[in-house]
């Protein structure tokens, strides 16, 4: 599928929001403004990124999947190893968790592998679009019955996100080819009005429950009734699609040149945010000003963008190429 300036620009902007969310996490639940921004942006940041991923999977075949999965699995475990270094140093490394549970943003890589495999199965068994969407929604809603504390077990929650976001991947996969141009042709005033109304609602009623609900972090047991939890999860699934469309409608195509670096930034920024940013700033601030978080997010995004241009990083992101180079040198 040919590159699309609007989609490439959207991917880069969305990844910046991911970085910003992580710089804000340190005092997220003690800063009302950060919590509200987190809730507001979470309705379109990850959902739209995954919808775009589904859209780019339209031409997937079994042969393409085999080539894709080998490279992605290698990238996955390379970064899983990098992310595990702190736990290794602290003596808390668990090989079972290393193999089975994605750390940080690696849930997206694991999810992309699983979601694309589902597409292969859908094509093989000729499952209709509506049946696929209904099954994916049922799976996403079923996650809410699993009781896991998102604070104590973030790695389990990360793994469950793979199931939570299946519907959004399928929405992108089954979307018409011209969906993005049709969204861009909608008058931007409607999107601005949509976000204005939603922003007012978030300011009046947004809580930490909404922040975790968007990522499937809370089970239905924390709600007054299971029905309440199911309804809120279902509302998010549907609302996130409209929020994603509204966001895509208003963002510019300015950053399209950086869209191809979005995955690299996603994987690299974690190694800067937690050990470097949090490690330095938290020594001087008990509460980090929002402006500092924003400036840090911009800086970290630009640093990661630069790193993705380095040959060594490009080889790490494309391990099959690295293996080929190593074998060629051995042959010599």
Q: How large is the average pLDDT for residues 35-42?
A: 92
CA distances from 220 to 133, 152, 224, 242, 261 (A): 22, 17, 8, 24, 37
Report pTM: 0.94
**Over 80: is that where the pLDDT of 21 sits?**
yes
Query: Domain for residue 329, yes or no?
Result: no
Residue-wise pLDDT tens digits, 199-209: 999 999 887 77
Residue 331 lies in a domain: no
Dihedral sign computed on CA atoms, order 290, 202, 270, 297: negative
Q: Are 267 and 304 in contact (CB under 8 A)?
A: no
The C-alpha atoms of residue 248 and residue 72 are separated, in whole angstroms, by 27
* Residue 164 placed within a domain: yes
Q: Is the pLDDT of residue 45 over 80?
A: yes
Closest listed residue to residue 33, CA positions, set 244, 299, 242, 292: 292
Average pLDDT over residues 5-20: 97
Could you give the 3-state DSSP secondary structure of residue 297? helix
Question: For the chain, how big is the Rg over CA atoms in Å?
Answer: 20
- Work out the pLDDT band at 300, boundaries 50, 70, 90: very high
pLDDT of residue 154: 72
Average pLDDT on 160-166 reads: 93
Expressed as residue numbers, the domain containing 183 is 5-324
What confidence tier does 30 reach under pLDDT thresholds 50, 70, 90? Answer: confident
Compute the average pLDDT of residues 104-125.
95
**154 within a domain of the structure (yes/no):** yes
Nearest alpha-carbon partner for 299 in 19, 94, 49, 4:
19
pLDDT of residue 1: 60
Looking at residue 217, its pLDDT comes to 65
Sign of the Cα pseudo-torsion (284, 288, 292, 296, in order): positive
- Cβ atoms within 10 Å, residue 107: 21
Average pLDDT over residues 154-165: 86
Instruction: Count up the domains in the chain and report the number.
Output: 1
Let me know if residue 332 belongs to a domain. no
Q: What angle do CA 111, 249, 186 make, to 5 degrees?
A: 130
């Amino acid at each position: 599928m040919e590159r699309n300036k609007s989609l490439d620009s959207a991917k880069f902007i969305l990844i910046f929001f991911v970085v910003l969310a992580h710089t804000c996490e340190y005092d997220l639940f003690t800063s009302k403004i950060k919590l509200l921004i987190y809730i507001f942006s979470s309705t379109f940041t990850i959902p739209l990124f995954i919808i775009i991923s589904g859209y780019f999977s339209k031409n997937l075949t079994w042969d393409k999947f085999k080539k894709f999965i080998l490279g992605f699995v290698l990238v996955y475990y390379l970064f899983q190893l990098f992310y595990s270094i702190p736990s290794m140093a602290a003596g808390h490394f668990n090989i079972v968790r290393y193999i089975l549970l994605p750390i940080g943003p690696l849930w997206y890589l694991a999810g992309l592998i699983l979601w694309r495999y589902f597409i292969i199965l859908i094509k093989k068994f000729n499952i209709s679009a509506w049946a696929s969407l209904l099954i994916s929604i049922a799976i996403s809603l079923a996650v809410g019955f699993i009781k896991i504390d998102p604070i104590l077990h973030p790695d389990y929650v990360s793994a469950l996100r793979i199931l939570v976001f299946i519907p959004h991947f399928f929405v992108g996969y089954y979307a018409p080819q011209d969906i993005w141009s049709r969204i861009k042709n909608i008058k931007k005033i409607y999107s601005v009005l949509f976000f204005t109304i939603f922003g007012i609602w978030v300011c009046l009623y947004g809580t930490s429950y909404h922040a975790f609900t968007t990522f499937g972090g809370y089970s239905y047991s924390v709600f007054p009734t299971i029905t309440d939890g199911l309804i809120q999860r279902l509302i998010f699934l549907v609302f996130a699609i409209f929020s994603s469309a509204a966001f895509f409608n208003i963002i510019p195509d300015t950053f399209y040149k950086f869209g191809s670096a979005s995955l690299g930034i996603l994987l690299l920024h974690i190694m800067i945010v937690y050990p470097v940013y949090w490690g330095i700033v938290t020594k001087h601030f008990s509460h980090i000003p929002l402006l500092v978080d924003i400036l840090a997010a911009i800086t970290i995004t630009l640093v990661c963008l630069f790193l993705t241009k380095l040959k060594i990083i490009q080889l790490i992101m494309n391990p099959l190429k690295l293996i080929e180079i190593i074998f060629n040198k051995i042959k010599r």
